[in-house]
Structures are given as C-alpha cells and as structure tokens.
C-alpha cells in the first residue's frame, strides 16, 4: 500500500525475526533473551520470598513498597495476605464463586492500583512498557549509537546466509542452544568496526529488539486499520472507538497495539477491560500504568530472589561439597547464560532431566522459590490445597509440598506452612491430580514419543508428569 521497495520490505521482515529473537514465541516453545520477563503471579507462593532467597529477614515478599498507599502516597503497605483477601472480596463481588489465588492476586493488585494511580506523561509510557517486558540495566545505555548501527548493518547479512535453510535449520541457528548469531555478527573482521565484543553485540541486539517492537506494532496497526476500513457496514462511533482501543496503536501502551502486551494479559486484564468498558474516562489509564509499574518491579525482584535461592541451595548440596566434584564457577555461569539466552524447548527439556548428581539450569517460572526439581509438582499441590481450603491459623506463607506415598491409584501429599503450625497429609486420586496438572500447566504432559496405553491416558499422563518433573517415582 505504501509502495515499499525491496530493501524496506526486507528490513521489516528482519525486524520481525529480531522481535521473535528477543521476545520468544510461546507457541514454538521459545522464551527469548534472558532479559525477557516471563514471570507470572498466579499463586501466593509466587509473591513470597523463601528464606534462602532473602537479602534480609524483613524481605518477605516481592510486592512493591507502595502497594496500599493512596493517591497522595500515604497509608500503610499491604501484606500478601491483605492483597489476596482484598482481591478475593473484589472477585466475589464481580461474580466469581470461591475465587482462588489466580483471581485474588490480579483483583487485589488492581484494587491497590486504583487507590494509587500513576500519573505520567505520554513520553514516559514507552519506557514503562519496556520495563514491564524486559529487565534492562544501565549498561545497555552505554552502547554508542555508532556501535548499534554497525550491528544493525551486519544483522541482515547474517540472516541472508541462512536464506535457503529449512524452518527447523533456521530456528536451530537463530534461537537454538548452539545459536551462532552473536558470534557471526561479532567476528566479521573485515567489516566496519572490525571484531566486536560478543557481550556488547548481544546487548545491541536487545536494543534493536526493542525497536523491532515498533516495527511489528506498525504492521499490526496497519493490518487492523485496513480490516476496519474494509468493513462493508461502517462502525458506529462507539464501535470504532472500542475497535481502535482493542487493536490499534494506543498512547496508553507506549504507542504499541495491545497485542504486543498480550503476554501480560493476566496481570493487566482488569485495567484493560476498564478502559474498554468506559473508553471516555481517562481515570482508568493511570490505573493501568500503575499495574505496569507493579509488574516492572515485582518480576525482576522475583527473578533475583529465585537466583539467590538456587545459588545457596547449590552451595550446600552434597555434590558441591565433595572434593573435586564441584563445577568451575566461571564455566557454570557461562552455561547458565547460554541456557537462559536460548529459546530452545529441546534444550530446556535436556537441562531439566532429573537424576542424582545432575545439574539443573535456572529457568524462570519453572525453577522459582520452591525446590528446583519440584516446582511444577508444588504448583499443582498448591492448587489442590486451595481447593480444599487448607490454611494456616497464622496465615503464613509459603507452603512446602512433599510426595509422601504412592499406590496404584492414589498419592499422599504432605504439606506444611513455613511457620510450622500446620501440617497435613491428604490423599489424592492420580486421575484427579492428572486433571489438575493438565489444567494448571496449560498443556498435555506425556512421555516423549511414547503414547499411553489404551484406556490409561490419565494415569500415564500423571506418571509422565511425576517422572519428568519430580524425580520421586520409580
């Protein structure tokens, strides 16, 4: 429509690839660069910081310090219990029966955001959106414009070399565990700038990746506006206004369409719906921005606490204490960096294989505050505990979950709160556990390339889950 020439068209296609490189593609099992924030807050345990992850004893959760303050910045900070209770009440008033944490948390944070809306200028919104999508440190700002231009020049050439690759071959090169994209860009000695430091090249790619959001946003905006203009029956003013807020670029989202913030849907949905339902009321926009600010603070805090917890567990593990068996810390750090940069689901599966003495790479939303191997088991067990309304009299969190016993049809889960006042053992049919696991983890879980026997799908699915993620079943 705009008459793009071949070079401009190629630049848009390249930017789409870079957008996928930094952000990942969930439907393809890739998570993007390590700075990409993927943390979700669905359970109370996601908000708490275990002792092993604390810098000080009073660092109990990842809630921002201003949660609970009013518009004037006055008031008392809310605890996790208060946020979730506030959210349960709000969710119940909205018509949800017996709301669990996955509803209570977003409702509670939304209520807190309404008490303390964030008033910022339109020019400040893009930076806020960026912080809610990526963990960016100050080092990236030290990159010169010339250096970014040099990397930008080399990038299309690197991609062009793989023009004839199959999709699988290209993905392996581009986002696989052995990706050589950064290396190919850095080692072009004959090009302007000569050989470049790899870490700075990687940071430049992250910088270009954010620009790619603008390119992809423009394309999505043009697509949806073309659809709107092509409708045989023109939209009414009210319909047009709603369509634009749903699908086209908006200053509320840093001049991006909402589709590019879809990964924050569960966290932002109440703020977004308020704007859709009352589009002329500008009071809803600062509430949405406060939610973005909450996430931009909570997700990096959660990530850092999880890393500290994992490092301390590793430092006290039997493997690390045996003479000659501890890993080289420099090599271990390099391996973890490569694992986090990689978006390959195959690499994640390989690094997650359970077994005595095997190292496990840190992957956000998989290895969080619980046991490195038992995180997914804990998520399902926590959901079952909430459904059965098992609570601690002191309202403390988080809880620990252990697989106590197994029979052919039943499992016994032992659970206890952090303060030690409450400990319970419950029996759960395997098929019920499989059903909860399938829903909570959001995908069908099965052994690789092994189909369950006829009539035993639920049991096989549960066994696959337990064998693969918990390392507790024979």
Residues 67-87 pLDDT 10s: 999 988 889 999 999 999 999
Mean pLDDT, range 157-169, rounded to an integer: 86
Backbone dihedral angles phi then psi of residue 122, each to the nearest 5 degrees:
-55, -30
Q: What percent of the chain has pLDDT over 90?
A: 38
Pairing type for strands 410-417 and 423-429 reads antiparallel
Per-residue pLDDT at 326: 44
Asked whether 249 and 257 are in contact (CB, 8 A), the reply is: yes
Asked whether 295 and 303 are in contact (CB, 8 A), the reply is: no
Higher model confidence: residue 156 or residue 228? 228
Mean pLDDT, range 168-196, rounded to an integer: 86
Question: Strand 399-406's sheet: what is its strand order?
Answer: 399-406, 410-417, 423-429
The Cα 398–Cα 414 span in angstroms is: 14
The answer, yes or no, to whether residue 331 has pLDDT greater than 60, is no
Nearest partner of 51 among 304, 303, 309, judged by Cα: 309
- Upstream peptide bond of 54 is cis (omega within 30 degrees of 0): no
The answer, yes or no, to whether residue 138 has pLDDT greater than 50, is no
Could you tell me the CA-to-CA distances from 474 to 415, 445, 470 in Å, in that order? Answer: 22, 18, 11
**Residues forming a β-bridge with 134:** 36
Q: Across all residues in the chain, what is the average pLDDT?
A: 79
Asked whether 139 and 203 are in contact (CB, 8 A), the reply is: yes
Lowest mean pLDDT among 241-255, 359-373, 428-442: 359-373
Mean pLDDT, range 351-380, rounded to an integer: 47
**Residues forming a β-bridge with 425:** 414
pLDDT tier at 188, thresholds 50, 70, 90: confident
Task: Name, in order, each residue with C-beta under 8 angstroms of 410's C-beta and a sequence gap of 6 or more.
Answer: 427, 428, 429, 430
The answer, yes or no, to whether residue 393 has pLDDT greater than 50, is yes
Could you tell me the CA-to-CA distances from 262 to 26, 28, 129, 257, 265 in Å, in that order? Answer: 11, 16, 12, 9, 5
Per-residue pLDDT at 468: 42
- At residue 473, the 3 state secondary structure works out as coil
Mean pLDDT, range 419-435, rounded to an integer: 84
The answer, yes or no, to whether residue 368 has pLDDT greater than 70, is no
Tens digits of per-residue pLDDT, 100-118?
888 999 999 999 999 999 9
The Cα 353–Cα 143 span in angstroms is: 38
Asked whether 361 and 339 are in contact (CB, 8 A), the reply is: yes
Mean pLDDT, range 307-332, rounded to an integer: 57
Q: Between the CA atoms of 71, 76, 82 and 84, what dihedral angle is there, to the nearest 10 degrees?
A: 40
Per-residue pLDDT at 178: 74
């Amino acid at each position: 429509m705009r008459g793009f020439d071949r070079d401009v068209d190629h630049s848009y296609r390249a930017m789409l690839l870079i957008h996928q490189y930094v952000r990942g593609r969930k439907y393809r099992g890739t998570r993007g660069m390590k700075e990409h924030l993927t943390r979700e807050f669905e359970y109370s345990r996601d908000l708490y910081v275990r002792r092993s992850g604390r810098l000080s004893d009073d660092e109990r959760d990842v809630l921002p310090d201003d949660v609970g303050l009013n518009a004037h910045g006055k008031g008392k900070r809310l605890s996790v219990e208060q946020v979730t209770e506030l959210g349960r009440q709000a969710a119940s008033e909205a018509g949800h029966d017996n709301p669990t944490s996955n509803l209570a948390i977003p409702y509670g944070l939304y209520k807190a955001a309404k008490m303390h809306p964030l008033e910022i200028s339109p020019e400040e919104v893009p930076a806020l959106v960026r912080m809610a999508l990526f963990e960016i440190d100050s080092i990236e700002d030290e990159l010169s414009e010339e250096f970014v231009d040099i990397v930008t020049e080399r990038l299309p050439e690197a991609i062009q070399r793989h023009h004839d690759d199959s999709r699988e071959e290209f993905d392996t090169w581009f986002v696989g565990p052995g990706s050589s994209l950064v290396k190919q860009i850095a080692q072009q000695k004959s090009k302007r700038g000569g050989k470049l430091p790899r870490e700075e090249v990687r940071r430049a790619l992250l910088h270009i990746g954010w620009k790619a959001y603008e390119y992809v946003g423009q394309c999505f905006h043009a697509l949806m506006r073309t659809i709107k203009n092509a409708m045989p029956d023109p939209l009414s003013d009210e319909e047009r206004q709603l369509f634009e807020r749903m699908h086209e670029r908006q200053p509320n989202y840093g001049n991006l369409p909402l589709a590019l913030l879809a990964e924050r849907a569960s966290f932002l949905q109440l703020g977004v719906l308020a704007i859709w339902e009352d589009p002329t009321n500008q009071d809803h926009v600062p509430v949405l921005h406060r939610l973005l600010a909450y996430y931009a603070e909570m997700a990096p805090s959660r990530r850092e606490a999880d890393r500290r917890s994992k490092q301390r567990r590793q430092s006290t593990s039997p493997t690390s204490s045996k003479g000659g068996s501890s890993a080289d810390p420099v090599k271990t750090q390099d391996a973890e960096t490569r694992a986090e940069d990689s978006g390959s689901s195959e690499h994640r599966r390989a690094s997650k294989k359970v077994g005595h003495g095997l190292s496990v790479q840190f992957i956000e939303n998989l290895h969080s505050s619980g046991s490195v191997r038992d995180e997914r088991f804990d998520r399902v067990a926590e959901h079952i505990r909430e459904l059965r309304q098992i609570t601690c009299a002191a309202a403390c969190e988080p809880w620990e979950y252990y697989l106590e016993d197994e029979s052919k049809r039943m499992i016994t889960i032992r659970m206890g709160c952090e303060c030690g006042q409450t400990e319970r053992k419950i029996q759960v049919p395997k098929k019920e556990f499989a059903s909860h696991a399938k829903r909570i983890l959001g995908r069908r879980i099965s052994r690789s390339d092994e189909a369950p026997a006829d009539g035993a799908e639920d049991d096989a699915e549960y066994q696959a889950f337990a064998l693969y993620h918990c390392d507790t079943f024979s």
